[in-house]
Structure 1
Amino acid sequence: MTVSAPEIHPPSTIQQSSGNGLPTPLREIEPGLLLKFECDNPGGSHKVRAARFIVRNAIACGDIVPGRTTVIEKTGGNFGFGLAIACQAHGVPVDLAVGLGFSGVKRRCLELFGARLIGLDMLERGATPREVIEWHLAHQQECERSYFYTDQFHNSGSVAAHELETGPEIVAQLKAWPRIQKLTFVACAGTGASLVGITRALKSAGYALNVVLVEPQGCDSRHGVFVDHKLEGMSVGVAPPFLGWRLIDEVRTVSYEQVLDARKSFARIHGLLPGNTAAACLSVARELAHDAGDTHKVLSILYDHGLWYVR
């Protein structure tokens, strides 16, 4: 079963945690730079929030029936970890189509987390993950599956998760810096869900907000221009489906060399190895933080850690 625009059932009270009982930290890791440690979520990234929200709502709506339904998705890894964790709690199996170009470490760990990687033979023959998904949805009886396609690129639950959970969690944590009036939010976009959800929550809380979108050098998502790059999870070859460009105040591009430099320097100074997309945003955020002060901070997201990408 495929659902692209589910009915959303928000929690009765705004959740101030990532779903595991504890919020991920928000720290002023360097003067003027606030960093949200989403790598501390179960599964190691911010994607578990969207996965839990989508699975919880699909079960509430009856679209996922534990003991009968299998969740299916195409993913570069992080959303797959989130689905594996979210579904494990309900005894729901997960089938994932993961492109062969994504991190081999992620692929192996997804299986350790309980997901089944599907379509390997098709992918080796040149099929895309989308084509793998389409084939399995069309052959559910043959596969002995009753599928629910979470379809993260078209599922509005991804935005709702960050608008109703991640964003309010950040707002609550910002009370530790009571003088802040303005924030510069530096983020990237795959689907655009986290950027949009967090932006809406921050604006609703009354902060003056400047949103900077980071893209790999050579990419221009607004105009559908993409080049091959090594930054998994951002500028993924299609315009971010949830991203309203009116929310973006500035776009900055980074080279892969800048990303590697940011990863290396951050690891040596702080003992923390950020993932590639996080390092791309850090490269820009650290420059902008030079102009920050007590009333203006730069905010970015540590989407995941960098161990996935060590080759």
Structure 2
Amino acid sequence: MTLNLIDRRPFASVATGRGDVTATPLREVRPGLLLKFECDNPGGSHKVRAARFIVRSAIASGEIVPGRTTIIEKTGGNFGFGLTLACQAHAIPVELAVGLGFSAVKRRCLELFGARLIGLDMLERGATPREVVQWHLEHAAEHGRSYFYTDQFRNAASVAAHELETGPEIAAQLKAWPEVREVTFVSCAGTGASLVGIAKALKLAGYSVTVVLVEPQGCDSRNGVFLDHKLEGMSVGVVPPFIEWNLISEIRTVTYDEVLNTRRTFARDSGFLVGNTAAACLTVANSLAAGATAEHKILSILYDHGLWYLR
């Protein structure tokens, strides 16, 4: 299959009500299938949007004071990279508790981006990243720290970032396809923030939106059923805290072999190596694209690039 990679976005930034932000491309990679290239964000993923929004909101409310506050979070994933980048502009230090299951490459890159990795000795003794964060919060004063725990799985600003920024950005870009009235949004859910925020924003912009949730084979997030799998960022072992199940029209599952095949094919045809979660959604989106029309497009998100997942 030869991909078109048509980028009909005629602008470099869009107004979202939060100030102008640089837009990532929305491309029609094959007839009927639109992909939002969030892998083009600083830090390589969509998570920088939530991190940036959380940090800005906390500074505005006084919960973060640059020069005094240190950010703390339990993540070795894309949110960690987003936090380090979001905080650099304000000279805010970032401390991350990163599970030992994350690759050494990712840990080194987090440090390269500016994060300080904490609690290695505790992790080696069997503590969880959550326990590492809790210990540091409890002992902050004696270590001279004033912490702000971003707590992405409980921080509703994660949803607001996508409802007020990413979603309106996509809606503005969809004007390049003026015939479109209906969108099938193929998404996964870790926290559920981007799924909910984008879906709500597109509905508010006047589009008829059908949401298809993608999960690894054997997982059922709605009922709290999770199996071990290799698709980082989706079905992460807890019911997505921000998910609104009334937004979901259909749930489809994918196998790891299907995801790897999609990732290889997309890399060869387009030159873009995307992450496993993006490839999982792309697997389902590809299967739906044949039913698209001029008025009805399939939309999915390339959440991140695939370099983190090479072993």
Q: Would you say the 8 A contact 2:80–2:96 is kept in 1?
A: yes
Counterpart-to-counterpart distance in 1, 2:69 and 2:145: 7
Deviation by residue 1:99-137 (Cα, 9 ceiling, x = unmatched): 111233221111000000111111122211111111111
Whether 2:37 is the aligned partner of 1:34: answer: no
Number of matched pairs: 297
Q: Would you say the 8 A contact 1:76–1:232 is kept in 2?
A: no
Deviation by residue 1:214-243 (Cα, 9 ceiling, x = unmatched): 011111000000011111111110000000
Deviation by residue 1:27-86 (Cα, 9 ceiling, x = unmatched): 001111100000111111001111111101111111111111100001132111111011
Counterpart-to-counterpart distance in 2, 1:34 and 1:105: 31
| Superposition map of 1:279-294 within 5 A | 279-294=279-294
Letter in 1 for 2:17: I
Whether 2:248 is the aligned partner of 1:248: answer: yes
Q: Would you say the 8 A contact 1:273–1:307 is kept in 2?
A: yes
Corresponding residue for residue 271 of structure 2: 271
Report how far residue 290 of structure 1 moved.
Answer: 1.1
Corresponding residue for residue 44 of structure 1: 44
Calculate percent identity across the aligned residue pairs.
Answer: 76
Q: Gaps (5+ residues) in structure 1?
A: 1-11
Corresponding residue for residue 62 of structure 1: 62
Deviation by residue 1:245-271 (Cα, 9 ceiling, x = unmatched): 111000111111011001001011111
Corresponding residue for residue 14 of structure 1: 17
Corresponding residue for residue 125 of structure 1: 125
| Superposition map of 1:176-255 within 5 A | 176-255=176-255
TM-score if structure 1 supplies the norm length? 0.93
Q: Would you say the 8 A contact 1:213–1:251 is kept in 2?
A: yes
| Superposition map of 1:62-101 within 5 A | 62-101=62-101
Q: Would you say the 8 A contact 1:16–1:168 is kept in 2?
A: no
Report how far residue 145 of structure 1 moved.
Answer: 1.2
Q: Would you say the 8 A contact 1:73–1:133 is kept in 2?
A: yes
Counterpart-to-counterpart distance in 2, 1:196 and 1:58: 22
Counterpart-to-counterpart distance in 2, 1:171 and 1:15: 15
Q: Would you say the 8 A contact 2:16–2:168 is kept in 1?
A: no
Q: Would you say the 8 A contact 2:16–2:165 is kept in 1?
A: no
Counterpart-to-counterpart distance in 1, 2:286 and 2:278: 12
Counterpart-to-counterpart distance in 2, 1:278 and 1:138: 37
TM-score if structure 2 supplies the norm length? 0.93
- Which SS does the other structure have where 1:43 is aligned? helix
Counterpart-to-counterpart distance in 1, 2:91 and 2:160: 24
- Which SS does the other structure have where 1:34 is aligned? strand
Q: Gaps (5+ residues) in structure 2?
A: 1-14
More deviation in 216-225 or 98-107?
98-107
Corresponding residue for residue 145 of structure 2: 145
More deviation in 122-131 or 182-191?
122-131
- Which SS does the other structure have where 1:126 is aligned? coil
Q: Would you say the 8 A contact 1:24–1:36 is kept in 2?
A: yes
Return structure 1 stretches of 4+ with deviation > 4 angstroms.
Answer: none
The root-mean-square deviation of aligned C-alpha atoms, in Å, is 1.2
Q: Would you say the 8 A contact 2:162–2:197 is kept in 1?
A: yes
Report how far residue 16 of structure 1 moved.
Answer: 7.3
Counterpart-to-counterpart distance in 1, 2:288 and 2:103: 30
Counterpart-to-counterpart distance in 2, 1:76 and 1:191: 15
Counterpart-to-counterpart distance in 2, 1:143 and 1:229: 38
